[in-house]
Structure 1
Amino acid sequence: MKILVIDGQGGGLGRQLVAAIRKELPDAELTAVGTNSAATEAMRKAGAERAATGENAVLVACRRADAIVGPVGIVIADALLGEITPAMACAVGQSAARRILIPTNRCGSRVVGAHGGMSAMLQEVIDALRQDRE
């Protein structure tokens, strides 16, 4: 399975996602794309096999992924303090990949019903990825 993790800002969520996916699904082909170099580096250090930065990297990686994981803001133009371009949001939204979005309320949009801590949400991501493999 080809899993794409997308994150921005400092890459903290992406780092946690990459580490959890790497631990729980070690055979997955894991690519990380950051909207900036700090996010990319955080995810690379967490164990992403491949890592790239920027809009074109998002566009290309979305065409190749089986699953895309990241904060809900990756499908909202101008989210993550403007780091998500309209082209990035469109590429994620139009990808044939399954999107597994974490409902953070830090994307300039409030997701109601998002409850529980980050560790519970990370476990839900892993469970969803495992179901895709079956």
Structure 2
Amino acid sequence: MNILIVDGQGGGLGRQTVAAVKKRFPDSQVTAVGTNSAATAAMLKAGADQGATGENSVTVCAGKADVIIGPVGMVIADSLLGEITPAMAAAIGRSPAKRILIPVNICDNIVVGVPDLSMGVLVDCVIAELDKIRSSS
């Protein structure tokens, strides 16, 4: 399975997600794309197989992924304090990949009905969704 993990700002959510995915699915190809170099570096340090930074990388990698994981803001233009460009949001939204959107209530994006969960709980939910996707393939 080719998994794309997208993150921005400091890359903390992406770092924890990469580590958990690689632990649970060591045979999966994990590509980390950060909206900035700090986010990319954090995800590579956590064990991503490869990484890149920026709008074009998101656009290219989204078209090749089986699953895309990231904060819900990755599909909303100008979110993550402006780090998600309209082209990034469109590429992720148009990708044929399954998308696992992590509900983080920040940057003026509020997911109704979702309480503020700890990072550990959110990452555990991501792994559970990947298990479902993998078993249905």
TM superposition shift of 1:118: 2.1
Query: In the alignment, residue 85 of structure 1 is paired with which amino acid?
Result: T
Partner of 1:59: 59
Preserved CA contact (<8 Å) 1:5 1:70? yes
What code does the residue aligned with 1:106 have?
I
CA distance in 1: counterparts of 2:34 and 2:13, whole angstroms:
11
- Counterparts in 2 of 1:84-123, with a 5 A limit? 84-115=84-115, 116-123=117-124
Give SS of 2:107's match.
coil
1:133 aligns with 2:134: yes
Question: In 2, Cα distance between the equivalents of 1:109 and 1:132?
Answer: 26
Letter in 2 for 1:64: K
Match of residue 28 from structure 1 = 28
SS in 2 for 1:31: strand
Residue identity matched to 1:6: V
Divergent runs of 4+, >4 A = none
TM-score, normalised by the number of residues in structure 2? 0.95
In structure 2, stretches of 5+ residues that fail to align are: none
Alignment of 1:5-20 (within 5 A): 5-20=5-20
1:64 partner SS = coil
| Structure 1 vs Structure 2 CA RMSD | 0.8
Deviations 1:53-110 (Å, cap 9, x if unpaired)?
Answer: 0000000000000000000000000000000000000001110000000110113211
- Percent identical among aligned pairs is 61
Task: Indicate if the aligned counterparts of 1:80 and 1:108 stay in contact, CA closer than 8 A.
Answer: no
Aligned to 2:63, the other structure's residue is in SS state helix
Rounded to whole Å, the distance in 2 between the matches of 1:103 and 1:94 is 20
Aligned-residue offset at 1:122: 0.9
